[in-house]
Structure formats: structure tokens, C-alpha cells
Amino acid sequence: MAHVDLVNNLVWSDVAMSKTESSALPAGEPAVLHGSVQFDLASAITGRTYRIFIFKPEVEAPPGGYPLVLAVDGNMVFPIMATVDATFELTGRAAIVVGVGYPTSDYSELMRLRTRDLTPPTPLDRIPQRPGLPPVRLEDYGGADDFYRFLTEALTPALSKVYPIDPADRTLYGHSWGGLFTVGVLLRHPEAFRTFVASSPSLFWNRRAVLADFADFRAKVRSGAVTPRVLITVGGAEQSVPNPIPAMMLEGVAKRAPYLPVWLQALVARVVVGKMLKDYSMVDNARDLASRLKGIGGRPGYEVRFHAFSGEDHLTSLPASIGRALDFVLRP
């Protein structure tokens, strides 16, 4: 009996201590991402202000300077990429990672700002109206050319004045619309970067208009004028209807057909999402582009790789692609 009492006393003592400790936690403060800084930079080219995130590794720079990985959608991508890049320091080689984002933490504002920078000029009637969002405005789209100029004419030269960066080893990374933007830069300005990583590129945009520059790109590669390295990734499940259906889609169906029972609203939402994914053809489009790029041939140095992450969707393929991208850059 005494043994039981002792055990009970110890258990209750641990519970009481746990409650005491949890209620006495120190006041919190914002976490700091090791090795990283951020600042806001205004652009005369785009007329916008960007939040620039920079991670500089602790390993010594190579004789020619660090590789540079420039990632769009910096608010979302940079924390993941900087952390993964830090693990590459264990190999003795890491990159300077620069995320280009926006000075806001409001998700809807981030989405609005990125649409203009990452999409090419697009007719208004080819911009889809997404459920639950305000009506589309032409001025919120089509700024990719100016954004490219900001990255290459303003930001990269400024970075090179402060950090030891290898001018011959620069990478552009983008996911989703960022992947569309990356493909657009690859096909129109293949000399701008050594490496291009397009993660789940939204090639369906404006009826695949981004591919209109493919013939000119192919001619440059076959002539030997350019020899870019290209990695295209996609989630293997990006054409499969997710389960559960995104809440935004369910809410959209409920608003349009409130008279339907909930189970039927869910069924309609699955049909709508399935059609949308079929139209987007994320996996098929990414695989097809990679195949076309590989088929060009090209001189030594030109390289194209493709990877579909089994079981990953448009969301989960993002972190998967970052590790693969840094491996492509740092361990070619």
C-alpha cells in the first residue's frame, strides 16, 4: 500500500510541476533565423517595395565566390530554403540564399502582390476569377518583365557589391506562379542565370502562352550560345483531387447552391476541383516541357532534369523541391 501511495505521490507531483513550469514560461519574443538578415528595398523599375531576405553561410567562400540562389515568393520560400541550405554547410559547400518577398504578413495581400510580378502580360478575358476572391483587375497581373529587370538590373548587382558571389553560378528558383515566371525567364533570357529551377510551374496560364518563346530558346541552345542547367519538379499527386476538398472550394459551392444538401455540395466541389486540375494538367505539362527541353540536345554544360515527387500535392511539393533544388545547385 505504501508503494502505491509513493507512486501516486510521484505522478501527481510530476503533473503539478508540469503545470507550474508551463505557467511560468518566460515571455516570448520573435524567433531569429540563424545567419539571416532582411531589409526593404524600393524599386524604381516596378514602383514597388520588396522585402529582401538573405542567408549567408558560415563556410568559407570558394575562390570564385558563393553560388547565389535567388528565390521568388521569399516570405514563404526563404525560411525553408535558408534552413536547408544551412545543412549543406556540413558538406563544406553552401549558397547565399536570397528570398524576394513583400513587406507584409497578410496572406491575401501577399497573393495579390505576387500575381503581378510573376505573371506575363495577359488579356483580361483569360484571367480566371477564383472563388471567394474580389473581381480580377488587369493591373494586378502582367508585370513579369519589370520584375525580371528588377532582379537582374537592380537587386543582383547590389548584392554582388556586398557579398562575394560567383557571377557564373547564379540560380533562379520559383514555385507555382514562381515556376511559371522561372520558365519565362529561362526561355526569354537563358543567359541571365546558370541554373533555373521551376517547381510545379503553372504552365497552363494564358493557354500555355509562356511556351511561345520555345523556338528561339531552342535555337540559342543548339547554336551553343547558351548552356543553362534546368530542373523541373512537380508533385506526383497534383492532378489528383485532394481529400479533403479545400474549404474555399466547399464555401464557393455552398454560396452558389445553398439549397443543396451538404453531402451533395461536397460532391459538386469534387467535380469542380477535378475539372480544374484536369485543365491545369500540372504533372503532364511539367513532364512534357522537361521532355521537350531534353530533346533539344545542346552543347556540354546544357542539362535538364525532371522529378515528380510521388504522393506530393501542390502544397507539399514545395518543401520537397527546395531540397532537390539545392542539391542540383551544390552537388551538380
Q: Is the dihedral of CA 41, 146, 109, 184 positive or negative?
A: negative
Rounded to two decimals, the pTM is: 0.89
Torsion angle, CA of 69/70/76/80, rounded to 10 degrees?
Answer: 10
pLDDT tens-digit series, residues 181-234? 999 999 999 999 999 999 999 999 999 999 999 999 999 999 999 999 999 999
Q: Is residue 1 over pLDDT 50?
A: no
Q: How far apart are CA 264 and CA 279, in angstroms?
A: 23
Amino acid present at 309:
F
CB 308: neighbour CB atoms within 10 A?
19
Q: Which percentage of the chain shows pLDDT scores above 90? A: 72
pLDDT at 23: 67
Q: Are strands 96-101 and 49-55 parallel, antiparallel or unpaired?
A: antiparallel
pLDDT tens-digit series, residues 114-123? 999 999 999 8
Q: Is residue 261 over pLDDT 80?
A: yes
CATH class as words, domain 33-239+281-330: alpha beta
Q: CA angle 298-166-103, nearest 5°? A: 105
Model confidence band, residue 17 (pLDDT cutoffs 50, 70, 90): very low
Of the listed ranges 13-17, 158-162, 275-279, the least confidently predicted one is: 13-17
Residue that is written with C-alpha cell 542539362 in the block: 303
Q: Where are the domains of the chain?
A: 33-239+281-330
pLDDT tens-digit series, residues 285-297? 999 999 999 999 9
Helix %, strand %, coil % of the chain (to 5): 50, 15, 35
Q: Which percentage of the chain shows pLDDT scores above 70? A: 92
Tell me the average pLDDT of the chain: 90
